[in-house]
A = this chain, B = another copy of it.
Amino acid sequence: MSNKGKYTNIGKRIPKLDAVDKATGKAVYPQDIKLSGMLYGKILWSEYPHAEILEIDTSEAEKLSGVKTVITARDMPPTKLGFAQDNPPLKGDKVRSLRDEVAAVAAVDEDTAARALELIKVKYKPLPPVFDPEEAMEDDAPQIHAEAKGNRNKLHYAFEYGEVDAAKAESDVVVKHRFKLGWVKHCCLAPYSCVAAWDGAGKLTMYSPTQVPFLYQRDLADILQILPSKIRVIQPKIGGAFGSKLDLYPNEVICAVLAKKAGHPVKLTYTRQEEFKCTPSRQPVIVDVEMGAKKDGTLIFRDAFVILDNGAYTSWGATIPYVLMNSITSLYRCKNIRFNTATIYTNNAYSGAMRGYGNPQGTFIVERMMDILAEKIGMDALELRLKNCNQPGEVTPQGFQVTTCGLRECLETVAKRLDWVHKRNKGKNQTGTIRRGVGLASFIHVGGGARVYRSDGCGAVVKMDDFGHVTLITGATDIGTGSETALAQITAEELGIRTEDVTVVNDDTAIKPWDVGIHASRTTFIAGNAARKAAAKIKANILKVASDLLDEPESDLEINDRRIFSKANPEKNMDIDKIIRRAHFREDGQTFTAEAFYDPPTQMQDKEYRGNISVSYGFGTQGAEVEVDTETGQVRVLKMVIAHDVGRALNPMLIEGQLEGGVSMGIGYALLEKLVVEKGEVKNPNFLDYKMPTVKDMPPIEIVLVETNDSAGPFGEKGCGEAGTIPTAAAIGNAVADALGFHMFELPMQPELVLNAIKAHKK
């Protein structure tokens, strides 16, 4: 932190590069794309959660004026998509959820397409459905996939470390509970929209909001049975993703096939209702968890069994136990761990990845259990955490090598700002109907990439023009987090120019170098290192030229704020653009372009889920003060205190924005948001019946950025994109328990749940 002053760009509160365009409506989202001759697509969804398809008659739809093409499973390649390749883009023989795609049309406008859907006649033979994963596990349950006996998905996450059974016996205190966490939505403000266009050479351009353009390119090619290189993915501005676009979904395949068959570009945009019903949610879990400790607070064991409602098909999101496991194994020190899962097919719509990727669930469980353990030991919950706090140099049971770790400082900072000493444990003694309480929760999350795929790398090309302006072509996608602004800052800082001197290009797979995608809070860290590496090459070239022109040794030269000068003789200096032009515009001239690729020195986990998947880990603590109205069951968050170890705050304003957005999502998860699903049907597919937090639900938020200056990160940074969401519900849950004096194990804590719990507790 001491060298903060020397930076021109790093640590500065610089607005997002695209802020004005987004605020003024100039930004181009997929919805805004208009191509010559473009048609509009619509999908016909299943009428039953589980049924055989006996017949599809599209003849009337095809006759409708303005309809250009109608497709069914017969028009699709025989390939399936999804993590387990169990999802045909259009269903031919059987539907397994109300989200199932049965047919699709492309027409001259959306109204015509919608009218055409009504003319498609589908004969179904309904089959008995099953919606509860525990029921689905029973022997006589309906079989959803012929190849998945007992509705068990092949995905299975099991981890063991130490001697759990022996540890149970050794524990002075053991607590055991069942947690039930349901569906919530990402609530992207832009409903899903994509555009497909084939060119004359048989190449496909997809305008897609995908988070993983290069994986998407490969997956879509596999489905369409063409070479991946035949697909160019262009990512317009993305109006919200939060993990929901980590997969290739049937809508994009359908869009591509419609365009191919119609011989015209096709745009396929969801309505808000479709966005609620037909895009992923956070995956619901039932977790049976047992934890034990010594009387002195030493954590002894954790044992968790997770039942996942996988829905009808398997998305990448079905792998969330991979991360849920992290919080169980690695948040606070504990040396005996057992973790197991059952991933169960049901006739519900399938879920997907969502910000934090299992960690909000895992952290909720661990941190709620920490409070319960502390209570049972008779120890202060903060003290229990400090006693078992993660530390620099530690290696966790899964093999995570903790380098920098500011968790202790985070815990202490939050406790202090929350006035923990005076406010904690006052719940029981309060009289009246309004109860106050405080709670806190911490997290550990990957902060230096995450090698969940064989490459965790990102490429960068940096090109400086004749005027000292730079284009950074990065593999990394920006889904609104502001990562492209952070990358511009990093590039500018390395080159001694200003952030405004950098244009970031990140939207076209034909142009940008490879990147695995935006997930796991990895983008600024990984892409930042790549950008810095490429910029450093240019800097070296510039200094070489400057050394000749200024007749000073390279080692003595510095670039600052667009000017190169000799540290020894500052009167010897020159503007960077002048140097560039002198080098370029002469015989045997040169220009300044460089490329780099950064893949962090990490490991793929082995089959036993051991391996250091990230080069550094992020930590943080959040504290909540809440007020519970015991007559209405209403919970209000009065204050939220955040202390996060972000390595270095490259742009405090953007990090605060990320954290505040994360808190809002966490408050929704904790208190407000519940996708009501009955018999596989979403009952509240709109923003009136599904309540996202608004500005009126947001408490004042105090943010302290703890800087541990991680040597692996660009200028010391660690990833923090998901952080704000992860411990919010846990902190609120702990504060509510502190206010009420008893515990709840479900989310969201809507008034009905709270009131029922109060009633049950009184009994």
Contact = CB atoms under 8 A, between A and B. Distances in A.
A597 interface: yes
Contacts of A23: 200
B584 A588 contact: no
A595 B471 CA distance: 14
Given A587-B603, A603-B587, A505 B513 contact: no
B510 A503 contact: yes
Given A21-B199, A454-B585, A586-B454, A229 B513 contact: no
A604 interface: yes
A597 B594 CA distance: 11
B595 A455 contact: no
A599 B593 contact: no
A461 interface: yes
A437 B591 CA distance: 53
Interface in A547-593: 584-591, 593
- Give the copy number: 2
B501 A229 contact: yes
A602 interface: yes
A333 to B, nearest CB: 27
A90 to B, nearest CB: 26
Interface in A460-516: 461, 463, 465-469, 471, 473, 501, 503, 505, 510-511, 513-514
A501 B229 CA distance: 8
A459 interface: yes
Contacts of A24: 200
Contacts of A471: 510-511
A32 interface: yes
A26 interface: yes
A591 B510 contact: no
A464 to B, nearest CB: 10
Interface in A81-112: none
Contacts of A32: 36
Nearest to A229: B469
Given A199-B21, A199-B26, A227 B467 contact: yes
Contact of A514 (B218, B457, B584): B584
Contacts of A473: 511
Q: Which of A36, A229, A603 has most chain B Cβ within 10 Å?
A: A229
A210 B214 CA distance: 32
A201 interface: yes
B594 A595 contact: yes
Nearest to A23: B200
A228 interface: yes
Contact of A601 (B229, B513, B587, B601): B587
A527 to B, nearest CB: 13
Most B Cβ at <10 Å: residue of A18, A465, A594: A465
A593 B597 contact: yes
Contact of A455 (B26, B218, B501, B584): B584
A376 interface: no
Interface in A214-269: 214, 218, 227-229, 232
A20 interface: yes
Nearest to A601: B588
Contact of A591 (B201, B513, B602): B513
Nearest to A512: B463
20 contacts: A17-B201, A21-B201, A227-B467, A229-B467, A229-B501, A232-B503, A453-B585, A455-B589, A457-B589, A459-B591, A471-B511, A503-B510, A505-B511, A514-B584, A587-B603, A588-B599, A588-B601, A590-B597, A593-B597, A594-B595
Closest 3 CB pairs of A and B: A20-B200, A229-B469, A454-B585
